[in-house]
Each structure stands twice: as structure tokens, then as C-alpha cells.
Structure 1
Amino acid sequence: MVKKVLTWAGVAFLIFFIAFQPNSAADVFKSLGGGIMDIAQGFGDFFTNLFA
């Protein structure tokens, strides 16, 4: 029950954040995307060096 409430609260906050602070929300998602891309690049480099 608590997990369900926290999930819906998170979704509501996300919608609120995007609706009222779109530029800040875009910056946050760009940062998250960049971090994910850095992690993926690191794994790719690791496996390239491992098998080369």
C-alpha cells in the first residue's frame, strides 16, 4: 500500500515539475541521460579492451 502511494506521489511530482518548470526539468533529464550514456560508454570500453 505504501509503495503504491509513493509511486503515485512520484508520478504526480514529476508531472508538476515538468508542467511548472519545463526548462529545469529538461536540464535534469539531459543530465540523467548524459550520465547513462557515460555508464554505457564505460561498459563498452571495458568489453572492447577485454576482448581486444
Structure 2
Amino acid sequence: MSTPPIKKIVLWLLTIFLLYAILTSPDEAADMVGSAWDVLANGVGNIGQFFDSLLAG
């Protein structure tokens, strides 16, 4: 008896949820993606600033 591939199931559920969110409220979905992008960009910038400070000191 084999177990179902959990990773594949979770990926399909996430894809279905994202499509549902985009189709039902595209403006809110775009805001969420924009917010996630801002968080990611700030995180990368902060890591760069940390290493600049580390190398300068």
C-alpha cells in the first residue's frame, strides 16, 4: 500500500485556491501579491544592509 504524494496534493490545492482567489476578487489578490513582494524586497534589502555593516565594521 503506497501513501499519496502529499507534496503534489498540497501544490494542487494551493493552485486551486490561488485561481479561486484571483477569479473571485482580483483586486484583493493583486494587493496580496504586492504586499508579499514588498516584504520579500525589504527582507533582501535588510540582509544586504546587514552584510554591508558587517564587512564595514
Given the two structures, how large is their TM-score scaled by the length of structure 2? 0.80
Q: Partners of 2:48 and 2:38 in 1: how far apart?
A: 15
Residue 26 in structure 1 maps to residue 30 in structure 2: yes
Q: Which has the higher helix share?
A: 1
Aligned to 2:41: 37
Structure 1 runs (4+) deviating above 4 angstroms are none
Report sequence identity in percent.
29
Number of residues of Structure 1 aligned to a counterpart in Structure 2: 52
Given the two structures, how large is their TM-score scaled by the length of structure 1? 0.87
Let me know the Cα RMSD of the aligned residues: 1.1
